[in-house]
Amino acid sequence: MAGAAGRVVGALASATLLAGVVSAATVDSSAPGRPAAAVCAAACSVVDGVVVRPVPVPLKPAATRRPAPAATARAPRPKPPQQRRTPVAPTARRTPAPLPARAASKSVQLRRMPAAPDPATAAAMNAMRLTPAGYRAFLDRIDQSSYDYAQQFIEFDPARVPIEQGPSEVFVWHFTTFYRNADGPAATPTGDMAVRPFVQGMARRGDEDSSPNHVCCGVNWVIDRHGPAHQLAPVNAKLRHNPPYDSINTGVEVEAARQVDITTSQYEGLAYLTVAVLDTQNLLGRKPLSEIAKGHGEMRDAYLDARPDSELDSRDDFNAPEARLLRQVIERFLRANPSVARMSPRLR
């Protein structure tokens, strides 16, 4: 019996199935004694007279991919309607709105500077008669009697004033309308000048809350109402009189309440002093006069034009027209007398 079973198993292993895999076998006993060929087809096997019918096992279907959904045709995005441009005439040009020369800030008022100086100021400058003899006489009259008095004030002492003492680059022209003249604030000067009240008026103009360390104001020179110059600080001292350029400029005040009040004699003294100072500072002849001698108002206007939001106030002393004319007179003097520079003393 065991032998017959083994032969049955071997037959099953050798049977060729239509699907190629045999997993089990059944013995056909439905027709005992019948010939094997009559019982099943060629796919059956007969072992010892017993018909063995293979039972096919269905193959596991291969993994099938889920068919990709059919691509849905996306409707084209409608184009926005094109706006028709209105043709512009060839001669019509879009002109930007003009910018103001200076934007208003908290303390700066818009103003349009005249192209030429006041006629009375121009007349006083054009009446100047600059000569080598006048230059020597002016140098001999420089008054240093108030120098030591002015140095008692922090604002006039370069060793104590909290301003960087850099190289001198510009000599700045002022007149004293913003300070105290000998005859009172904003008064037209009369009589002889008193230098000490002028020094006090400048030094005490600073903020009282910051005393004694306030730094306004001081200046190197003052020209009195008759034309002579008074020296109040060293020629290269950097003092507070032209922010934000205090660390690079020195300066002079001309005693007058208004630009139109400056006399021809004062303009002559100012021209001579400018030559002497610039020569002492080794600036004369090395750069154009327009770069080394400037008016206070001229410099302030240029600064505010570039920085309209600045908190600095506008100034009205020696604006560009007056400064330009004064430089022209000095340049004519230097061209006509090229040896003048060798006559300059070394100022202290």
Same domain, 20 and 161: no
Same domain, 216 and 308: yes
SS3 at position 144: coil
Alpha helices (H) in 26-168, listed in sequence order: 36-39, 119-126, 132-140, 147-150
Question: Taking 90 as the threshold, does the pLDDT of residue 53 lie above it?
Answer: no
Question: Taking 70 as the threshold, does the pLDDT of residue 17 lie above it?
Answer: no
As a whole number, mean pLDDT of residues 288-300 equals: 96
CA dist., res. 330 & res. 129, Å (int): 10
Same domain, 45 and 134: no
pLDDT higher at 274 or 316:
274
The answer as to whether 84 is a domain residue is no
CA dist., res. 269 & res. 128, Å (int): 10
Same domain, 130 and 231: yes
The answer as to whether 279 is a domain residue is yes
Same domain, 20 and 148: no
As a whole number, mean pLDDT of residues 236-255 equals: 94
Same domain, 310 and 163: yes
How high is the pLDDT of residue 105? 38
Same domain, 125 and 52: no
Each residue's pLDDT tens digit, 185-222 = 555 666 667 888 888 888 877 555 555 555 578 999 99
Total domains present in the chain: 2
How high is the pLDDT of residue 68? 55
Beta bridge partners of 175: 254
Question: Taking 50 as the threshold, does the pLDDT of residue 130 lie above it?
Answer: yes
CA dist., res. 261 & res. 120, Å (int): 9
**Residue 120: pLDDT band with limits 50, 70, 90:** very high
Same domain, 159 and 231: yes
The answer as to whether 69 is a domain residue is no
Q: Letter for the amino acid at 260?
A: V
Question: Taking 80 as the threshold, does the pLDDT of residue 56 lie above it?
Answer: no
pTM of the model: 0.66
Decide: 334 and 340 in contact? Cβ < 8 Å.
yes
Beta bridge partners of 28: 51
Question: Taking 70 as the threshold, does the pLDDT of residue 264 lie above it?
Answer: yes
Question: Taking 80 as the threshold, does the pLDDT of residue 123 lie above it?
Answer: yes
SS3 at position 26: strand
- Choose one of 20, 37, 56: the last residue of a domain: 56
Same domain, 30 and 140: no
Same domain, 278 and 158: yes
* Percent of the chain topping pLDDT 70: 60
How high is the pLDDT of residue 269? 97
Residue 201: give the domain boundaries.
119-343
Decide: 187 and 257 in contact? Cβ < 8 Å.
yes
pLDDT higher at 44 or 265:
265
SS3 at position 335: helix
* Percent of the chain topping pLDDT 90: 44
The answer as to whether 70 is a domain residue is no
The answer as to whether 314 is a domain residue is yes
The answer as to whether 106 is a domain residue is no
Same domain, 38 and 162: no
- Choose one of 56, 78, 101: the last residue of a domain: 56
pLDDT higher at 86 or 121:
121
Same domain, 52 and 123: no
CA dist., res. 195 & res. 120, Å (int): 27
As a whole number, mean pLDDT of residues 295-308 equals: 94
The answer as to whether 105 is a domain residue is no
Decide: 35 and 58 in contact? Cβ < 8 Å.
no
The answer to which of 24-28, 30-34, 67-71, 248-252 has the lowest mean pLDDT is 24-28
How high is the pLDDT of residue 226? 82
Query: In this structure, what CATH number is given to the domain that contains residue 179?
Result: 3.40.80.10
User: The tokens of 107 are what?
Assistant: 């303390």
How high is the pLDDT of residue 274? 97
Decide: 182 and 193 in contact? Cβ < 8 Å.
yes
As a whole number, mean pLDDT of residues 177-185 equals: 50
Each residue's pLDDT tens digit, 161-176 = 989 999 999 999 999 8
How high is the pLDDT of residue 24? 39
Question: Taking 60 as the threshold, does the pLDDT of residue 119 lie above it?
Answer: yes
- Choose one of 56, 82, 101: the last residue of a domain: 56
pLDDT higher at 299 or 108:
299
The answer as to whether 172 is a domain residue is yes
Q: Letter for the amino acid at 257?
A: A
CA dist., res. 241 & res. 255, Å (int): 15
